[in-house]
Amino acid sequence: MKNLWAITSKETRAYFSMPSAYVVGAMFLALTGVFFVSDVSRPFAEAGVRGLIDWASFFTIFLAPLITMRLLAEEQKMGTLELLLTSPVREWEVVLGKYIASFSLLLAIQLVTFYYVLMIYVFGDPDTGPVLSAYLGLVLHGAAALSIGLLGSSLSGNQIVAAVVGTGVLLFFSFINRVASLLEGTPAEFINALSMNARLSDFTRGVIDTSHVIYFLSIIAIFLFLTIRSLETRRWR
């Protein structure tokens, strides 16, 4: 646990000391805010956070890989990953420490979007239950997106390639439900069950389904496991 805490602290300090992290976070907040304001400005707009969460989750598809792309790709490019793996540090400690650090940054960015929620309460009267469940869904969605982005970072020493791989996988899991809409029966149900967007939509309606929570936690566990395995193969090369 000592190694895990050391890695987490190091990466967290690195994140919050990089100007680029603030620039990316500001872009995320600005884009989310612009489209959210556009939604709530329409006549008879709903006094809720569904539009905000939809846009925030969409931009998270691109934000998460940008946050994670340097975590392992940079280590590979600099040649420090091999040194790290030959030290008395376990692969799971490296992966989990970097993952927790990236999650802390994403969570901080997501919490700032509460400003928009406060505006809804000022000018409207939304139900608090759906607001809380929607943010739970957004946090789970973001956590899953980071695990996918981290796997992409472990597969290449090029940060751009890592970001593209992570974004591609996230786009697949996010919009595969569009394919399900073209099918019927069991194939449609199976494909729809893989979709992040289909799961997240229930959270925005105030529904906290245990199967949806398990789905996101499973995505996190599977992709972190694959990232650990990716590092283990490097140790024995």
Please count the residues of the chain.
237
Provide the residue type at 145 as one letter.
Answer: A
Query: CB under 8 Å to 208, separation ≥6 — which residues?
Result: 133, 136, 202
pLDDT over threshold 70, residue 82 = no
Evaluate whether 191 touches 180 at the Cβ level (below 8 Å). yes
Using one digit for the tens of pLDDT, what is the confidence trace for 100-121?
A: 999 999 999 998 888 888 887 8
Residues 73 and 190: their CA atoms lie apart, in Å, by 33
% residues pLDDT > 70 (the chain): 88
Give the per-residue pLDDT at 88: 74
Residues 136 and 107: their CA atoms lie apart, in Å, by 11
Task: Please tell me the number of Cα atoms within 13 Å of 6 on its side-chain side.
Answer: 9
Residues 201 and 193: their CA atoms lie apart, in Å, by 12
102-207-50 Cα angle (round to 5): 65
* Top-confidence residue, 133 or 184: 133
Could you give the angle at which helices 91-112 and 210-235 cross, rounded to 10 degrees? 140
Measured between alpha carbons, how far is residue 180 from residues 170, 202, 219 in Å?
17, 17, 20
Give the per-residue pLDDT at 79: 67
pTM score of the predicted model: 0.90
